[in-house]
C-alpha cells in the first residue's frame, strides 16, 4: 500500500484555519489550584506566583517570536493582545506555541518539579471590543478575588473543600466582605494587583549614546518590556485613557 504525502496532509483538517488580528489569546493554567498547593504557594494569593506569571509574560514579549501589543494577567490566566501577526497566523500555531512557551517559561521560573500546562483559546476582537473584553476579564479578577478570599477563610475556620464551596455559593458578595472583615481582612484594601490584575506592555524610552562617525552624542528611540502591578479600574476615566494608550503605542 502506498501512502502519499497528499493523502496524509489532507488529514490535517484544521491546518487551514486562520485567525485574523486584532485578537487575544487567553491561556489558563491547567489544574493550578492543585499544582500551586503542591508547590507550597500561599493562599489565596502569593506574590511569588504573580511575579512568575508577569515574568513569563515578559519573556514571551522578548523571546516569543510574536509581536504582542500588550497583555493582562490575574490569577493563573493571561490574555495577550495582538493587533498584527508576524506571519499568516494559523489557529493551530497560536494555540500550541503560545501555551507551550508559557508552560516551559513558568516551569523554569518557578523551579517546578512537575511539568505545568496551559490551555489556550483565541478571542476574535476589534479595537472597540478589546476594551469591553478587558472590562470583562477585570470584573472576573474582582469576582475571583472575593471568592478566593471567602473560600480560604471558610477553609481556615474548619470547613472542608466541598462544604466551603457550597457555603460560598449561597453567599452574596457583601456577605463575603463582612466575613473577611470579621477575620481582619478588608477586601477593598488588599493589594491592587489582586483586585485589578496586572499589565505587561512595551514602553518607549530614549537611549543616549555616542556616534563615533559623527563624533557627537545622539539619542535613539527604543522600546523595553515593562509591567504595571498598580493599574486603575478600566471602567474609570483613567482606565479608559490607559487602554487607549496601550492600543495606540507603537511597538517599534
Ligand atoms: N495558592 C495559590 N493559588 C492560586 C494563586 N493564584 C491562583 N491560584 C489558584 O489557581 C486557580 C485558578 O482557577 P481555575 O483556572 O479556575 O482553576 P484550575 O482549574 O485549578 O486551574 C484558583 O482556584 C486558585 O486556587 C496564588 O497566588 N496562590
Ligand atoms: Mg486554571
Give the full edge-to-edge strand order of the sheet including 70-74. 118-124, 23-29, 77-82, 70-74, 198-211, 216-228
* Residue with CA nearest ligand 1 atom 18: 31
Could you tell me the maximum CA-CA distance found in the chain, to the nearest angstrom? Answer: 74
- Give me the count of residues in the chain: 252
Centroid of ligand 2 to alpha carbon of 38 (angstroms): 14
Q: Is residue 120, in this structure, part of any structural domain at all?
A: yes
pLDDT number for residue 94: 96
pLDDT number for residue 251: 63
Cβ of 140 less than 6 Å from ligand 1: no
Which residue in 125, 93, 98, 72 sits closest to 17, CA to CA? 93
Cell of 230: 498598580
Centroid of ligand 1 to alpha carbon of 203 (angstroms): 30
- Whether 96 and 121 have beta carbons less than 8 Å apart is answered as no
Paired strand residues for 52: none
| CATH number of the structural domain spanning residue 181 | 3.30.70.3000
CA dist 197 and 228 (Å) reads: 9
Q: Is residue 19, in this structure, part of any structural domain at all?
A: yes
Cβ of 43 less than 6 Å from ligand 1: yes
Reported pTM: 0.94
Report the nearest atom of ligand 1 relative to the CA of 49: 27
Centroid of ligand 2 to alpha carbon of 205 (angstroms): 35
Question: ∠ CA(26), CA(27), CA(28), 5° rounding?
Answer: 125
Query: What H or E segment, with its residue span, contains residue 142?
Result: helix 127-156
Cβ of 46 less than 6 Å from ligand 1: yes
- Whether 224 and 201 have beta carbons less than 8 Å apart is answered as no
Cβ of 28 less than 6 Å from ligand 1: yes
Domain count, the chain: 1
Identify which of 27, 33, 55, 110 to mutate to test ligand 1's pocket (most ligand atoms within 8 A of the CB).
Answer: 33
pLDDT number for residue 229: 98
CA dist 215 and 36 (Å) reads: 55
Which residue in 2, 59, 25, 51 sits closest to 194, CA to CA? 51
Q: Is residue 115, in this structure, part of any structural domain at all?
A: yes
3-state DSSP percent of the chain in helix, strand and coil, to 5: 45, 20, 35
Cβ of 76 less than 6 Å from ligand 1: yes
DSSP track, 29-49: ETTHHHHHHHTT--SS--HHH
Q: Is residue 241, in this structure, part of any structural domain at all?
A: no
Centroid of ligand 1 to alpha carbon of 232 (angstroms): 23
- Looking at all shown ligands, the one closest to residue 35's CA atom is 1
Q: Where in the sequence is the domain holding 88, given as residue range(s)?
A: 15-195
232 secondary structure, DSSP code: P
18 secondary structure, DSSP code: B
Tens of each residue's pLDDT in the chain, 252 residues? 777 888 899 999 999 999 999 999 999 999 999 999 999 999 999 999 999 999 999 999 999 999 999 999 999 999 999 999 877 789 999 999 999 999 999 999 999 999 999 999 999 999 889 999 999 999 999 999 999 999 999 999 999 999 999 999 999 999 999 999 999 999 999 999 999 999 999 998 888 889 888 889 999 888 999 999 999 999 999 999 999 999 998 765
Cβ of 49 less than 6 Å from ligand 1: yes
Q: Is residue 251, in this structure, part of any structural domain at all?
A: no
Q: Is residue 40, in this structure, part of any structural domain at all?
A: yes
* Residue with CA nearest ligand 1 atom 9: 33
Report the nearest atom of ligand 1 relative to the CA of 34: 20
Contacts of 215 (CB under 8 A, 6+ apart): none
Q: Is residue 174, in this structure, part of any structural domain at all?
A: yes
Report the nearest atom of ligand 1 relative to the CA of 29: 21
Amino acid at each position: 500500500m502506498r501512502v502519499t504525502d497528499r493523502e496524509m496532509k489532507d488529514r490535517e483538517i484544521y491546518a487551514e484555519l486562520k485567525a485574523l488580528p486584532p485578537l487575544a489569546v487567553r491561556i489558563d493554567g491547567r489544574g493550578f489550584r492543585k499544582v500551586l498547593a503542591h508547590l507550597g504557594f500561599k493562599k489565596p494569593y502569593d506574590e511569588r506566583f504573580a511575579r512568575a506569571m508577569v515574568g513569563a509574560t515578559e519573556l514571551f514579549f522578548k523571546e516569543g517570536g510574536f509581536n504582542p501589543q500588550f497583555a493582562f494577567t490575574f490569577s493563573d490566566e493571561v490574555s495577550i493582545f495582538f493587533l498584527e501577526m508576524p506571519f499568516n497566523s494559523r489557529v493551530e500555531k497560536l494555540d500550541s506555541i503560545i501555551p507551550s512557551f508559557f508552560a516551559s517559561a513558568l516551569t523554569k521560573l518557578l523551579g517546578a518539579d512537575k511539568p505545568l500546562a496551559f490551555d489556550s483559546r483565541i478571542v476574535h476582537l476589534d479595537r472597540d471590543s478589546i476594551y469591553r473584553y478587558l472590562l470583562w476579564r477585570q470584573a472576573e479578577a474582582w469576582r475571583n478575588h472575593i471568592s478566593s478570599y471567602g473560600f480560604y477563610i471558610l477553609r481556615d475556620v474548619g470547613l472542608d473543600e466541598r462544604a466551603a464551596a457550597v457555603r460560598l455559593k449561597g453567599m452574596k458578595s457583601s456577605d463575603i466582605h463582612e466575613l473577611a472583615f470579621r477575620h481582619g481582612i478588608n477586601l477593598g484594601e488588599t493589594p491592587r494587583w489582586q483586585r485589578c490584575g496586572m499589565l505587561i506592555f512595551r514602553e518607549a524610552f530614549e537611549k543616549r549614546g555616542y556616534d563615533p562617525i559623527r563624533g557627537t552624542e545622539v539619542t535613539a528611540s527604543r522600546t523595553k518590556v515593562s509591567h504595571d502591578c498598580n493599574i486603575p479600574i478600566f471602567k474609570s476615566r483613567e482606565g479608559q485613557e490607559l487602554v487607549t494608550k496601550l492600543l495606540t503605542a507603537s511597538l517599534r
